[in-house]
């Protein structure tokens, strides 16, 4: 077995500093983990590309769009992508997964742990932000689907998950179940 690169070791260290349990993918410079977000469970993969000095992080969550809503669902993803600065949404039709992917090129071989943590938080936040909007879309009856404004749906803030403060505690009041 080949020893992990400096780049990949820095990813492993960054995940360890955050206390994130993860598994290494044998034979590749990839680690994987799961997160329970506010609205969904997210499978995360982090892969180091040593020749580029780059790190790609991908988050995936299951989504099964009804055939009748597929076009609107894909338009929602396209519109969401237009609003993003970093990363992008994709849909894996074969595996029925909503995917969010972001990549960063690093200046040094040892990747910055804060940037890695920010990338992971971005993945989780974006997938968790879109999940309730997708659920609203899927619950919209087919005969009124054309009346649903996807632009307005993307502007909704009432479904955003609470934001943790610097200590990882939730700001504001706790949500009642």
| Number of residues written out for the chain | 177
Phi, psi of 30 (to 5 degrees): -135, 140
Residue 166 has pLDDT above 90, yes or no: no
Residue 65 has pLDDT above 70, yes or no: yes
Tell me the mean pLDDT in the region 89-102.
98
> Where does the pLDDT of residue 165 fall: very low under 50, low under 70, confident under 90, or very high at 90 and above?
low
Q: What does DSSP say about strands 88-92 and 54-62: parallel, antiparallel, or unpaired?
A: unpaired
**Alpha carbon distance 77, 132 (integer Å):** 13
Q: Which two tokens stand for residue 24?
A: 């290494």
Residue 140 placed within a domain: yes
Residue 21 placed within a domain: yes
Residue 163 placed within a domain: no
Residue 73 placed within a domain: yes
Residue 123 placed within a domain: yes
Instruction: Provide the pLDDT for residue 41.
Output: 96
Tell me the mean pLDDT in the region 66-82.
97
CA 165 to chain centre: 19
Looking at the structure of the chain, the number of domains it has is 1
What residue numbers bound the domain in which 126 lies?
A: 6-155
Residue 165 placed within a domain: no
Dihedral (CA of 16, 20, 21, 25) sign: negative
Per-residue pLDDT reduced to its tens digit, 129-150? 999 999 999 999 999 999 999 9
Domain containing 28 — which CATH number?
3.30.1460.10
Average pLDDT across the chain, whole number: 91
Residue 175 placed within a domain: no
Residue 173 placed within a domain: no
């Amino acid at each position: 077995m080949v020893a992990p690169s400096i780049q990949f070791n820095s990813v492993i260290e960054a995940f360890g500093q955050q206390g994130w349990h993860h598994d290494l993918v044998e034979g590749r410079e990839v680690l994987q983990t799961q997160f329970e977000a506010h609205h969904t469970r997210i499978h995360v993969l982090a892969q180091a590309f040593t020749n580029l000095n780059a790190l790609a992080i991908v988050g995936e969550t299951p989504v099964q769009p009804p055939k009748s809503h597929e076009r609107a669902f894909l338009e929602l993803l396209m519109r969401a992508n237009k609003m993003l600065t970093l990363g992008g949404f994709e849909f894996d039709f074969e595996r029925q997964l909503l995917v969010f992917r972001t990549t960063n090129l690093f200046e040094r071989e040892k990747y910055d742990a804060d940037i890695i943590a920010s990338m992971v938080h971005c993945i989780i936040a974006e997938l968790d932000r879109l999940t309730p909007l997708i659920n609203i879309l899927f619950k919209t009856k087919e005969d009124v689907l054309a009346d649903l404004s996807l632009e307005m749906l993307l502007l909704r803030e009432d479904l955003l998950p609470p934001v943790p403060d610097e200590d990882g505690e939730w700001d504001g009041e706790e949500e009642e179940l």
